Chains A and B, each alone.
Chain A
Amino acid sequence: MSKFTTSRLPEPWGSVINRDHTISFRFEGKGYQGYEGDTLASALAANGVMLLSRSFKYHRPRGAFTFAGLDANSYVQVGDEPNVLADMLPISAGLSAMGQNYLGSLYRDHAVHAGRLSRFLPVGFYYRAFFRPKGIWPLWERFFRRAAGLGKINCNADEAYFDKQYLFADVAVIGGGPAGLSAALAAARAGANVLLIEEAATLGGSLNYARFQRHRRDVDSLRDSLIGQVEQNDNIRVLVGATCNGWFPDNWLALSRPNRLYKLRAKHVIACTGSVEQAMVFRNNDLPGVLPASGTQRLMRLYGICPGSRAVVATANAEGYDVVLDLLEAGISVQAVIDVNQSAASPELVEQVSTMGVAVHQACTVGEAIPRTGLRSITGVVINKLAESGEATGESWQLDCDLLVTSVGYAPLGQLVCHAGGELIYDDALNSFIVTNVPPDSGLAGSVNHRYALDAVLADGRTAGLDAARALGLNPEADSQIMPDSGAGGINHPYPIYPHRKGKDFVDFDEDQTVADLQNAVADGFEHPELAKRYSTVGMGPSQGRLSSLNALRIVQRVSGDHLAGASVTTQRPPFKPVSFGVLAGRSFEPERLTPMHRWHADNGAVFMPAGMWKRPAYYAGNKDRAATVAEQVAEEVAVIRGNVGVIDVSTLGGIEIRGPDAAEFLNRMYTFAYKKQPVGRARYLLMTDDTGGIVDDGVACRLDDEHFYITTTTTGSDTVYRNMLRRNAEWGLEIDALNVTSTYAGMNIAGPMSRQVMEKIESDMDFSKDAFPYLAVRQGTINGIPVIAMRVGFVGELGYELHVPWTQALAMWKKLIAVGAQFGIRPVGVEAQRVLRLEKGHIIIGQDTDSLTMPRDAALDWAVTSSKPYFIGKPAIGLSETRPQSRLLVGFRLLNSDGPVPEESHLVVRDDAIVGRVTSVAWSEALDEVIGLAYVAPEQAESGANFQIKVSQGLMVAAQTVQTPFYDPENLRQAL
């Protein structure tokens, strides 16, 4: 018996490798060399290394099978990335990869003994064990968690760059094989804009390796011609190295490359996705050295690799004889052809190979591949003679070989079509699946459409391309050709499954499922293919049943006695092939909004905090000549506003202008308060509820003239409020115009007892005196030549002016205020201080102190609801709620012991072990010298002076007392100065 060896074949073998460029790489820590164009799997094969990984359950040695990335045998670990397909990964200088799923080393896997326990691990064993005795599962779970999964992830892996891109096409052709090339050319010649998508690095598909019962030279010539035509056609764009991983409604295709997700919108899709050769089932059919015909041809034709020295070919079709010719052409000894048919499908081919000295054994099958010690290669095969019934006669003999090639048929790669609504149905005449229910605005061509003869494949592609052109309204040439014979008859053996009494006859390589496993699944009552799949996990591995569904269905239906014809394969879901999370996540777009003063804030030591998409100064920490805690800095900023004057950037507040004769009526309907009689030049509180009566936003309405309001919204509410306004008025039809001016005007709030002195110091055409500009007045004018909407409002409870200034001139205004205010000790003040200041006044923040169920009376905002109005959004619900008992109220509170634990927002208000409310805001008040807050409490706890309990961290209970708000300046005298 010879040792399994591989070596490079001379040119022209190896169409995709560049023998002038050698690349060094490492696998399992050992250095190797390959050629440019090699994949990791092909380069290793060239070095005699076929073993790439270990199987999931029994840790059996596995090597690449299809050499097209369609099986899970070739998964390897590359750095931090697990499950990289070695037969799709191009080698590159410095590449270092490891095998997967072993304990010890790839070559000496201690877990291989799991295979010996297979009789104790029957199908569904985990459903029936490990739960007795009671409580034992957590121990088993740890074991299974360790054993489960493939590859290793590094949770601390460095960030990599991924992104996304949209693509558009009239016609998307998925697959650059003969059908795809033909379809693309037909559609493009009719004028369609075509995107041709190919997963491999080069176009051609099966034209690159198959013979199609012709001389290979003729196939090469046809391939070169078709690719040349495609390259010269300006209407065709080609995307190679891209996998179509999902086909979603309206022809939205997800295409992935290693670092990019393409989102393709196509008017028409033609799936030329081909087919995948199916495994023949016999004992040890999974070992390195057993290859399908197409995998063997890819290895030889694409990469110029001699796959073995002595081959046996087991076949049920003409393609198997094609491989014999290829092997002979490459100088490889073919020991015998094992033809499973009772009579040869192609007597001419039998004669041809016979005359070349190859023995053909008709009506025989492979009963077993004989492994070398360690199972890493084979040394021969056991041949069984078959009776007419297809059963083994008992006559058998052995042949030496290091390569066993099988060719028993194909399954269409219709998974993508199934994503979009198609179905894979078993067809008795073809002994295969056919794709049905093809979605609208799409078509199939080639072997996915059960066309296998080259002429039929080309004609089918052309027809699909012309159909696409017609569907687009183009006027293509007539499709007058007569469709050649499909070549599908006899290509698939009806039951290429030869179970062995000792097992290891694998149906599903991913999950190590054998014939007996499926038989047992049916015997256990899981007769339906969907149930058998879930019970046995057949088809649930990474290759999603591409190589197992057909044989699994045959076995399940035969054992259960159900008809195979019309049976369907289980649901196909995206992605078609494994895809990295990085590709799915892509480049994350997280919009960030900055105010015009952002740079100034940063330069002046601001520490920013997010507020929706905005970044706002939380407090100003920089330029300190002494260390200060955050609390101390916030307290200083609070003191500045309470003591002299501060300025807060409030540009993030939403701004909306409402114009038109119905402007006041519109506000009356959108908000709870009344605006029809609001005087021009006055500001009024805005409270918005939704249809359920829940508070959703608040702000201030400034009446600039009879038909013109400038309103503010909360920082995060502007877009929603504006959108709702447009939607509502589409129903109401009021004569108004709404304009979102959030980023048209920046805002700054100058507050504190000395704020009037600052304003009066600035050059302006407005009179800021108390009488001319009283509390809640609104004025329009200029400051330093800059147009301004100025209003007197009191969110922080001090004398203050809110200036709304055109965005592009806001920074100049801000700097002016800082400069003029310097003599009064003006300082910028951040959000943290503002929150303390407003809490001292008992002012709520929508979204923090309210939730979606908070009605105005719950938050003591009844005063802002005008019930006499005929309508406002939420009025019916609010009216209804008032007929029911109130369940909670938002109240101010103080802690009875300010030195003890301090509650945090969302800590619960508890009474007799029942939750009656929660804390919404809490802060230390320097002015009051105690901890104060807002909380929802039971109605009977809402009376001033009532005590209640708050449950804080570690379950401690903290005593609090209800306090009338405002906590600070209860008469509101300071803001009206």
Chain B
Amino acid sequence: MVHFSLTTESGLALIDLSVLPRAGIKGKCLSQWIESKRYEVDEEPNRAYAQRDGVLIARLSPGELMLLANPADASMDAMTYSLEATYNCYPVRRQDSHYWFALTGVRCPAMLAKLCSVDLSPDIFADGTVAQTSVARTSAVIVRHDIEDVLCYYLLGDSSTILYMWTCLVDAMKEFDGQILTPPALDNLAHKT
């Protein structure tokens, strides 16, 4: 693994964020739950909404949210397991069910085009867009969440396929000189400005 600082010039990097907190919540009365938490999440599904505390909330459907911690701090840690069944909603163990990778850099769309049939180019797949699709023949959630000026896609998929997907990505990245980084690279980037 190469350790170096991620910059806006970096063409492509893969970071395993699976150690960071994430959670999910499902139910019919999500709006009440969202309100109770003072989150700002629109009704439109397949969009991700950054919160003031850095948590990113991806709305997967009218009745389902996925919460991703701010890589810069693990403040969601406590929340991960404390989501309670309330307002007719129940927590979903996304920490267990899904791996979480970050893919950064301008070459991401080209690299991902080797694995996924969704057009992820920046002018088509806008910041904050969510795609629930197939990547290398496995179900996956792709969330575009740029960090500062760096193009960034979160890729989340079935935990049992983490090694398979990692191998696919490393293989696909070769022609783009992709680098494998550790989570602090993303953290540093977020704190740069």
**In the complex, which of the residues B93, B110, B119 contacts A265, with contact meaning CB atoms closer than 8 Å?**
B119
A807 neighbours in B (Cβ, 8 Å) = 93, 96-97, 159-160
- The reply to whether A808 and B96 contact each other, CB–CB distance below 8 Å, is yes
B57 neighbours in A (Cβ, 8 Å) = none
Provide the B54-73 mask, 1 if CB < 8 A to any CB of A, else 0.
00000000010000000000
- The reply to whether B160 and A743 contact each other, CB–CB distance below 8 Å, is yes
A168 neighbours in B (Cβ, 8 Å) = 113, 119, 121, 124
CB-contacts of B148-163 with A (<8 A) = 158-163
- The reply to whether B113 and A594 contact each other, CB–CB distance below 8 Å, is no
Please, how many angstroms separate the alpha-carbon atoms of A203 and B161 in the complex? 43
Q: If the complex has contacts A741-B97, A806-B96, are A164 and B161 also in contact, measured as CB distance less than 8 A?
A: no
**In the complex, which of the residues A167, A659, A743, A745 contacts B113, with contact meaning CB atoms closer than 8 Å?**
A167
Report the minimum CB–CB distance from A735 to chain B (whole Å): 9
Q: Does B129 contact A (CB under 8 A)?
A: no
Segment of A503-511, A585-593, A755-763, A949-957 engaged in the interface with chain B? A585-593
Provide the A583-604 mask, 1 if CB < 8 A to any CB of B, else 0.
0000101111111100000000
Provide the B99-128 mask, 1 if CB < 8 A to any CB of A, else 0.
000000000001001111101010110000
**In the complex, which of the residues A166, A591, A744 contacts B116, with contact meaning CB atoms closer than 8 Å?**
A166
**In the complex, which of the residues B27, B90, B123, B136 contacts A589, with contact meaning CB atoms closer than 8 Å?**
B136
- The reply to whether B113 and A593 contact each other, CB–CB distance below 8 Å, is no
Smallest CB gap from B167: residue in A: A592
Please, how many angstroms separate the alpha-carbon atoms of A263 and B92 in the complex? 36
Q: Does A165 contact B (CB under 8 A)?
A: yes
Band of interface residues on B:
20 to 34
**In the complex, which of the residues B27, B124, B138 contacts A591, with contact meaning CB atoms closer than 8 Å?**
B138
- The reply to whether B97 and A591 contact each other, CB–CB distance below 8 Å, is no
Provide the A145-169 mask, 1 if CB < 8 A to any CB of B, else 0.
0000000000000000001111110
Please, how many angstroms separate the alpha-carbon atoms of A641 and B150 in the complex? 55
Q: Does A248 contact B (CB under 8 A)?
A: no
Provide the A560-601 mask, 1 if CB < 8 A to any CB of B, else 0.
000000000000000000000000000101111111100000
Please, how many angstroms separate the alpha-carbon atoms of A269 and B98 in the complex? 39
Question: How many A-B contacts at CB < 8 Å in the complex?
Answer: 83
- The reply to whether A614 and B160 contact each other, CB–CB distance below 8 Å, is yes
Q: If the complex has contacts A165-B113, A595-B160, A808-B96, are A739 and B121 also in contact, measured as CB distance less than 8 A?
A: no
A806 neighbours in B (Cβ, 8 Å) = 93, 95-96
Report the minimum CB–CB distance from B45 to chain A (whole Å): 16
**In the complex, which of the residues B98, B117, B164 contacts A593, with contact meaning CB atoms closer than 8 Å?**
B164
B162 neighbours in A (Cβ, 8 Å) = 594
Q: Does A427 contact B (CB under 8 A)?
A: no
Q: Does A737 contact B (CB under 8 A)?
A: yes
A590 neighbours in B (Cβ, 8 Å) = 137
Smallest CB gap from A719: residue in B: B139
- The reply to whether B164 and A745 contact each other, CB–CB distance below 8 Å, is no
Please, how many angstroms separate the alpha-carbon atoms of A949 and B93 in the complex? 53
- The reply to whether A593 and B26 contact each other, CB–CB distance below 8 Å, is no
A193 neighbours in B (Cβ, 8 Å) = 123
CB-contacts of B32-67 with A (<8 A) = 63
- The reply to whether B90 and A659 contact each other, CB–CB distance below 8 Å, is yes
**In the complex, which of the residues A165, A166, A591 contacts B137, with contact meaning CB atoms closer than 8 Å?**
A591
- The reply to whether B27 and A737 contact each other, CB–CB distance below 8 Å, is yes
- The reply to whether B96 and A593 contact each other, CB–CB distance below 8 Å, is no
Q: Which of B92, B97, B123, B171 has the most CB of A within 10 A?
A: B97
- The reply to whether A166 and B164 contact each other, CB–CB distance below 8 Å, is no
Please, how many angstroms separate the alpha-carbon atoms of A587 and B119 in the complex? 19
B92 neighbours in A (Cβ, 8 Å) = 739, 744
Please, how many angstroms separate the alpha-carbon atoms of A594 and B117 in the complex? 25
Report the minimum CB–CB distance from A235 to chain B (whole Å): 11
- The reply to whether B113 and A163 contact each other, CB–CB distance below 8 Å, is no
Report the minimum CB–CB distance from B83 to chain A (whole Å): 13
Q: Top 4 A-B pairs ranked by shortest CB distance?
A: A807-B96, A593-B160, A168-B119, A744-B97
Q: Which residues of B line the A interface, CB within 8 A? A: 26-27, 63, 90, 92-93, 95-98, 110, 113-117, 119, 121, 123-124, 136-138, 158-164, 168, 171-172
Q: Which residues of A line the B interface, CB within 8 A? A: 163-168, 193, 263, 265, 587, 589-596, 614, 651, 659, 737, 739, 741-745, 806-809
Q: List 11 A-B contacts (CB under 8 A).
A: A165-B110, A166-B117, A167-B113, A265-B117, A593-B160, A594-B160, A741-B97, A743-B160, A744-B93, A744-B97, A807-B159
Given contacts A165-B110, A165-B113, A592-B164, list 4 more A-B pairs with CB under 8 A. A594-B161, A737-B26, A806-B93, A808-B95
